[in-house]
Every structure is written in C-alpha cells, then in structure tokens.
Amino acid sequence: MSFAVDSKDRQDAGTGPGGPVSRFLRLIRFSHTIFALPFALGALVVAANGLPSLRTFLLVVVCMVFARTAAMLFNRLVDWSLDQRNPRTASRHLLVSKSAALVLLALSSAGFILTAAAINRLTFLLAPVALALIFFYSLTKRFTSATHFFLGLALAIAPVGAWIAQAGRIDLAPLVLGAGVICWVAGFDLIYATQDYDFDRREGIRSLVVKLGIARSLRLAQILHFAMFAMLIAFGILAQLGLFYYAGMSLVVAALFFEHKTAGRLDLAGINRAFFQSNAFVSAVFFLSVCVDRLAR
C-alpha cells in the first residue's frame, strides 16, 4: 500500500524502540487512520441530520479500525517478500512475525464482520463484500496500472458504509462522496508513489507513475484533486449543506494547492510532510465543516 508508509519505515525496524503493541501499530501505520475516518464520520453526521446515537458512532469507529487493520495486514502479508527488496520498506517485516500477522488478520476480519452485524442487516450483508474489495487492492499492482484507483475505492467504502449504518440504505449523496474520496486518494497516492519510481520500474511493478512518468503523473494528480473538489461540492448540494460547509471547502483547496506545490519540487522529504499534513488537514476540515454546518442549524 504505497500511500500508507512514509520515510520513517527504515527507523521502524524490529530492533527499534517500543513493545509489541507499538511495533504492531507502526506496521499498520495506525496514525494514517485519520485519512478515511473523518469522511466516514462526516457521512454519518449528514445521514443522521445531526449527532448520531453513541451506539452507532462507536460501532462505526470500531468497524473502521477493524477493516483498516485487516486491510493493512493483508497488504503486508501479500507484499512480504517485495517489501524486503525495497530499500524504503526493507525493515518492515521485522516489526511483527508473519505468523502473528496471519492470526491478527483473521481476528480483525472476524471483528469487522461481527461489528457490522451488530449495526443492521444491510451492513452485515455487505461486510464480506467490503472486505473482499479492500483486500483486492493489494493484488491489483500485479495486473493493472490503475492500482491507485483501487486504493481509492477501498477507502471510499468508509463513508458509504457509515451512511448505511445510520440510514439502513444506499443513497446518491454518499456515492458521490465516495467518488470524491476515490479521486482524492488516487491523486495523493500518485504523488506519493513517485518515491518508488525507480524501484517499481526495476521490479516490473505496475504503476501509473512508471507508465506515465513522474511529470505526467503529477499532472494527473492535479486533475484528480480538481475532480475531488467538484465531488465535494456536489455532495454538499445533494446533502443540502450550507455556508459553513462551503467555507470549509475553500480550506480544502488551499491544502491541496500546498500539496501539489510541494510535490512539484520533487523534494521527497517535503512530499512526506505534505502528504501527511495536507491530507490529514483535508479530511479533518471536511469533518469539521459538516459538523458545524449540521449542528449550527
């Protein structure tokens, strides 16, 4: 999962500081949960037309954590030998043993399905489909260059699932928001994947960055983020959001502009900082804008 790991990976070796829990959280890059979770919670607030019940809120958060944990563990296991050959991720496999990762994958997958079953019938029925989609992403780099879009699809499940958890049905608004998340994730993953350009080309890994080159990949990322912004505006219209929401979207544009300006310099250290800071900011602003708009009424 190219977007899920930064340059700290080589510092996160099994000989690094911290106990088993700390190493496990570094393995799955737990801090990056902040990217998809705010979109899920924002969709939940809109679907509830205000604050959801504490029960639904907690179940959605637990589902998100279980699903992301399972997805990251599956990705680590599928790419176990590949990561060992990549200088940027060569120490990752030392954080947790392969057998432990398998056990934790089974537990987190079961936890996700059981938690989804506790929400409503539709979330339970769709839970295996959601797991299959987020697992499928890890395999796509072996047969398609569009892997960045499959990663976006995996994260787009979050807001759609949260909406279903509250409303018990699928509506157009969360699908539009999900499309926006796909464009957003594919765009920033393209930027991040420029760091692995040489390795991916050498290993024959399918990637749009390898296929298009770095310059054209960065231009495509700009187009995708413009499309993401358009989808956020469309979501606001469909969800009947107001001025507070649209004011927040101006901050989203500013954050994306900063990210692309940094990426244009091809400064890898800068890309790492911009990647985390800008995208965490984008998702947080979306969530806060939705909350303020809904709760201020």
Question: In the predicted model, is pLDDT for residue 16 greater than 70?
Answer: no
β strands within 126-285, DSSP E: none
Please name the helix (run of DSSP H) or strand (run of DSSP E) that holds residue 245, with its range, or none: helix 243-264
pTM above 0.85, yes or no: no
CB 79 within 8 A of CB 138: yes
Question: In the predicted model, is pLDDT for residue 101 greater than 50?
Answer: yes
Q: Which residues of 233-250 are buried (b: 16+ CB within 10 A; e: fewer)?
A: bbbbebbebeebbeebbe
Determine which of 42-56, 121-135, 189-203, 275-289 has the lowest per-residue pLDDT on average: 189-203
Question: In the predicted model, is pLDDT for residue 40 greater than 90?
Answer: yes
Angle at CA of residue 149, ends 145 and 155, nearest 5°: 140
Give CA–CA dist 242/245, Å, rounded: 6
What is the mean pLDDT of the segment spanning 5-18? 43
What is the mean pLDDT of the segment spanning 25-40? 71
Map out the domains of the chain with their CATH numbers: 2-295 (1.10.357.140)
CB 58 within 8 A of CB 71: no
What is the mean pLDDT of the segment spanning 184-196? 86
